[in-house]
Amino acid sequence: MKINYLNEIPTKHDRLVSWVKEWAELMTPEGVYWCDGSKAEYDKLSEELVNGGLATRLNPKKRPNCLLFRSDPSDVARVESRTYVASEKQEDAGPLNNWIDPAELKKTMRGFYKGCMKGRTMYVIPFSMGPVGSDIAKIGFEITDSAYVVINMHIMARVTPEVYEVLGADGEFIPTVHSVGKPLARGEKDNGVWPCAPVKDKYIAHFPETREIWSYGSGYGGNALLGKKCLALRIASVQARDEGWMAEHMLILKITSPEGEVKHIAGAFPSACGKTNLAMLIPTIEAWKVETVGDDIAWMKFGADGRLYAINPESGFFGVAPGTSMASNPNAMHSIAKDTIFTNVALTEDGDIWWEGIGYDPPDTLIDWKGNKWNAATAKEPAAHPNARFTAKAANCPVIADNWEDPAGVPIDAFLFGGRRPSTIPLVNQATDWVHGTFVGSAAGSEITAAALDLKAGTVRRDPMAMRPFIGYHVADFLQHWLNIGNKTSDDKLPKIFFVNWFRKTKDGRWLWPGFGDNSRVLEWVFKRCTGKVDAVKTAIGLLPKKEDINISGTDVTSADLEALLSVDIDGWKEELSAIKESYKIYGDRVPRELLDQIDALEKRLG
């Protein structure tokens, strides 16, 4: 088969060229286009998407250089039930991943891929996860037939010809393949209809041993932007295990004290726990400064000094729109003022966007995320999908740190774990050492909200290190890897580990802690613990603050509230320990002995 290359092949990397040729022969696109990441490319593809009816250009006076997309109602989120870790041995995928034999899965998917790009262009996207050339970064290539994916990847990764310079003629790259799974007959067009395959034909497959990612049938988010969760967490977690570093579902903050001292904190939080808000936090305590290095993923390697240095492998924010407002996250709102791709939000008559929780009432009529007229007085469904998204440049964030793209990374002083827990778990608790901290992270759990339709609201879902959906191998081996990391350097050079809980309530349902910008008051204590400027109270569960060391001046938090927030509920913790034991049973007999010892030790301390 003769391949129609639409532009010059930009590399002498034989394996890369052969890989593209092999897939083009299987998928039979109209032509193959090698992307360059330029503004001209972005603008051209954007115009094609608008002209084809798949995108709406927003009012340039209100949202300069912004587009709105509406996806198919079957294609609105990550599809966990169709996401696979196809390790060579089933036991290596572990109990938290879906598994299919890799040979069988590849045979099935090749059947779907055959001829799947008929009538479409195959785009080859060169990208770097992390600053190009950084020792912590990784190079990937994504084959896709979706221009929507290309322009989103422009924002979310470093798409640039500089990738080829780093790659050279024989460098390592992670091969990723994507198709929307909707071939076009001769002369057929999408005609403004979002292309995707039925849910039963969707596959998001990871092959850990060969470092491959194959995705078919979905054009949406984490299913299609393969540099994101697929590469940056599932495959990278396997690479990190094998190469002795860390790929974690963590935000990265830069904190500067009034005296000008700087610390960097990485934090892992399950969904609906305020992670994005914390990443862009505006402190309510005077003269403290918080800046954003990353809002979602951290890759960390040891530096020559024995400390962990982190980069944000992404270059953009893929955030949930509903609930984002000037009250909850002004910096996110400023970030999406221009150069942003919106998906499944509502459209106003004057060409702006709207969603539930944006902070102001909707106009009387607008166009909802399904493309239908929506009236505020009579509507029975939300105007925006609950998982509606924005894709925005990190560089447009007003509090982006000046060192966020430092190829050497930033030194991490502390890890935060968190969860949505209305009782038992205190406002902040410091682990006594790395092993205890690994145990604390492994036991992280969050109360299920009503939005999780497949789980009972009010129950606690265990989410070790907030990585439950993203570990590319057995969860118990992942926990062992954390313990191994702790043995690679001295205790004083490892990040200190804390667990925070902004979500404590009284029995009558009143919040005990104001949250949002006031979370800076907890960060202040964490900062001071990292500098040795405050002591802590040793308890059965860890190291807690003295009441006087949490600054509540100017808040509605009473002394009694603070007492409750910093108390140790022994009976509640005994129930918590029982639940942790049950969660460990799911992980099988590979759970590290050190963590089982932590359970025994906590049980003794609780009495």
* Domain count within the chain: 3
* Residue 97 domain-assigned (yes or no): yes
Q: Is 71 left (phi over 0), alpha (psi -120 to 50) or beta?
A: beta
Residue 125 lies in a domain: yes
Amino acid 56: pLDDT: 98
Is the Cβ–Cβ distance between 332 and 319 less than 8 Å? yes
Pairing of strands 174-179, 212-216: parallel
Please write the tens of the pLDDT for every residue from 347-391.
999 999 999 999 999 999 999 999 999 999 999 999 999 999 999
Burial bucket for residue 139 (CB in 10 Å: 0-12, 13-18, 19+): buried
Say if CB 366 and CB 378 are below 8 A apart.
no
Identify whether residues 290 and 304 lie together within a single domain. Answer: yes
Specify if 72 maps to a domain. no
Boundary residue ending a domain (243, 274, 297) = 243
| Dist CA 256 CA 171 (whole Å) | 39
Please give the residue range of the domain that contains residue 181: 14-34+80-243
CATH classification of the domain holding 356: 2.170.8.10
Confidence (pLDDT) at 283: 97
Reported as type and span, the H/E element at residue 43 is: helix 39-51
Mean pLDDT taken over the chain: 96
User: In 61-161, which residue ranges form alpha helices assigned H by DSSP?
Assistant: 90-93, 102-113, 147-156
Same domain, residue pair 158 and 307: no
Burial class (CB in 10 A: 0-12, 13-18, 19+), 303: middle
d(CA 433, CA 283): 28
> What pTM does this model have?
0.97
Note whether residue 239 is domain-resident: yes
Q: At what angle do helices 593-606 and 570-586 cross, to 10 degrees?
A: 160
Identify whether residues 254 and 352 lie together within a single domain. no
- Distances in Å between the Cα of 102 and the Cα atoms of 202, 396, 559 are 16, 41, 58
Same domain as 265, residue 176: no
Burial class (CB in 10 A: 0-12, 13-18, 19+), 408: middle
| Residue 460 token pair | 């606690």
Is the same domain home to 223 and 202?
A: yes
Residues 289 and 414 grouped into a single domain: yes
CATH at 137: 3.40.449.10
> Could you read off the pLDDT of 422-464 as tens digits, one per residue?
999 999 999 999 999 999 999 998 887 544 434 555 688 999 9
Residue type, 63: R
Is the Cβ–Cβ distance between 391 and 343 less than 8 Å?
yes
Looking at the fold, whether 258 and 356 belong to one and the same domain comes out as: no
Q: For the domain that residue 533 is a member of, what is the CATH number?
A: 3.90.228.20
Q: Which of 400, 332, 334, 393 is nearest to 158 (CA)?
A: 393
For the chain, how are helix, strand and coil distributed in percent, rounded to 5?
A: 30, 20, 50
3-state secondary structure of 607: coil
Do 517 and 600 lie in one domain? The reply is yes
Active site residues: 273
Task: Output the furthest CA–CA distance in the chain (Å, rounded).
Answer: 76
pLDDT at 271: 81
Residue 521 and residue 474 share a domain: yes
Considering the domain architecture, whether residues 355 and 278 belong to the same structural domain is answered as: no
| 208 neighbors 471 (Cβ within 8 angstroms) | no
Is there a domain that residue 251 lies in? yes
- 443: Cβ contacts below 8 Å, ≥ 6 apart: 462, 464, 576, 580, 583
Low-confidence ranges of the chain (pLDDT < 50): 450-454
Give me the half-sphere count of Cα atoms (radius 13 Å) on the Cβ side of residue 521: 23
Residues 228 and 256 in one domain: no
As a whole number of angstroms, the distance between CA 206 and CA 381 comes to: 35
Structural contact between residues 263 and 293, judged by C-beta atoms closer than 8 angstroms: no
3-state secondary structure string across 249-298: CCEEEEEECCCCCEEEEEEECCCCCCHHHHHCCCCCCCCCEEEEEECCCE
Q: Do strands 212-216 and 203-207 pair parallel, antiparallel, or not at all (unpaired)?
A: antiparallel
Boundary residue ending a domain (396, 423, 456): 396
Residue 459's pLDDT is what?
Answer: 81
